């Protein structure tokens, strides 16, 4: 059974600080997604990482993927209050043996950026 674990589950940080959220998964996959969810809302796509060593950056967020270690990171640089949300990684369970791909979500990280 695929497990996707994030840590920390809750992160309170001050504006201007840096921090990293980790996403570990238990099976082979070359594709990983990061999403943001605001309270009461659906998901906003942040990054799609499609291969080992992939790194993508958008504003104060940078995501990377190490498929050999089965690890993805989401790094926050100089946090601002607007980044407060819940962040999910999601692993694409690849199409092995004719089965349809499907996306399995991590446990989520609730980020609270304090002014």
Partner 1 sequence: GAVVSQHPSRVICKSGTSVKIECRSLDFQATTMFWYRQFPKQSLMLMATSNEGSKATYEQGVEKDKFLINHASLTLSTLTVTSAHPEDSSFYICSASDLGGNYGYTFGSGTRLTVV
Judged by the rule CB under 8 A, the positions of this chain that interact with partner 1 are 33, 40-43, 45, 48, 88, 90, 100-108, 110
The residues, ordered by sequence, that sit 6+ positions from 40 with a Cβ below 8 Å of its Cβ are none
Which two three-digit tokens encode residue 115? Answer: 């002014």
- CA-nearest of 49, 43, 79, 77 to 65 is 49
Nearer to partner 1, 8 or 77 (CB): 8
Q: Are 3 and 25 in contact (CB under 8 A)?
A: yes
CA distance 88 to 69: 19
DSSP H or E run through 93: strand 85-93
| Residue 78 CB, nearest approach to partner 1 (Å) | 27
Nearer to partner 1, 27 or 77 (CB): 27
Nearer to partner 1, 48 or 71 (CB): 48
| Residue 100 CB, nearest approach to partner 1 (Å) | 5
CA distance 76 to 12: 12
Nearer to partner 1, 52 or 101 (CB): 101
């Amino acid at each position: 059974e695929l497990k996707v674990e994030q840590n920390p589950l809750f992160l309170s940080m001050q504006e201007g600080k840096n921090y990293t959220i980790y996403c570990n998964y238990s099976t082979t996959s070359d594709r990983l997604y990061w999403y943001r969810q605001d309270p009461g809302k659906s998901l906003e796509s942040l990054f799609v990482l499609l291969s080992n060593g992939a790194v993508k950056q958008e504003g104060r967020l940078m995501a990377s993927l190490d498929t050999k270690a089965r690890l993805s990171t989401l790094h926050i640089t100089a946090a601002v209050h607007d980044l407060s949300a819940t962040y999910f990684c999601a692993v694409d369970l690849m199409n092995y043996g004719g089965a349809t791909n499907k996306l399995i979500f991590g446990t989520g990280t609730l980020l609270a950026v304090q002014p």
